[in-house]
């Protein structure tokens, strides 16, 4: 299962992220063999830059298997501190623009369906780059 670690500090390294996630994976019960605890299959840091405001965010992406371990890792690490910054940990869901049910070419009028939002509220114009990755 892919996990996203949101709002990590910009000076977080790949090794810092892996150590942080390993803390969540490692169980406090020492009699459980380490092979049954789960492991990190893939790991990376994603930098998101807004060209208009020149702001930058960093997020970690981690693939943990099995799913049971990933779910317990979310519970253990959500709200924890990584390099002095409180981070959020949740399941990452990849979304495709082809599967978006909204038609962006036709803007319905307010009277037809009662929809008040006339445009997409998602942030646009961002630049994404992977700065550390293991695949």
For 48-102, the pLDDT digits (tens) are 999 899 899 999 999 999 999 999 999 999 999 999 999 999 999 887 767 666 6
Question: Domain count of the chain?
Answer: 1
- Ramachandran sector of residue 18 (left: φ over 0; alpha: ψ -120 to 50; beta: rest): alpha
Residue 28 lies in a domain: yes
Token pair listed for 126:
């961002």
Q: Are 38 and 69 in contact (CB under 8 A)?
A: yes
Can you give the pTM of this predicted structure?
A: 0.74
Residue 112 lies in a domain: no
Q: How far apart are CA 70 and CA 135, in angstroms?
A: 18
Q: What is the pLDDT of residues 18-29, one digit of tens each?
A: 999 999 998 655
> What CATH number is attached to the domain comprising 85?
3.30.70.330
């Amino acid at each position: 299962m892919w996990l996203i670690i949101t709002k990590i500090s910009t000076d977080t390294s790949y090794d810092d992220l892996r150590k942080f996630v390993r803390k969540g994976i490692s169980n406090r019960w020492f009699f459980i063999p380490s092979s049954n605890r789960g492991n990190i299959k893939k790991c990376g840091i994603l930098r998101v830059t807004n060209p208009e405001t020149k702001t930058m965010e960093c997020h970690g992406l981690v693939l943990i298997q099995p799913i049971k371990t990933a779910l317990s890792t979310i519970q253990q690490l959500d709200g924890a501190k990584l390099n002095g910054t409180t981070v959020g940990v949740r399941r990452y869901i990849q979304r495709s623009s082809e599967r978006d049910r909204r038609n962006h070419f036709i803007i319905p009028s307010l009277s037809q369906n009662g929809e008040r939002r006339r445009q997409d509220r998602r942030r646009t114009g961002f630049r994404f780059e992977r700065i550390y990755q293991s695949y």
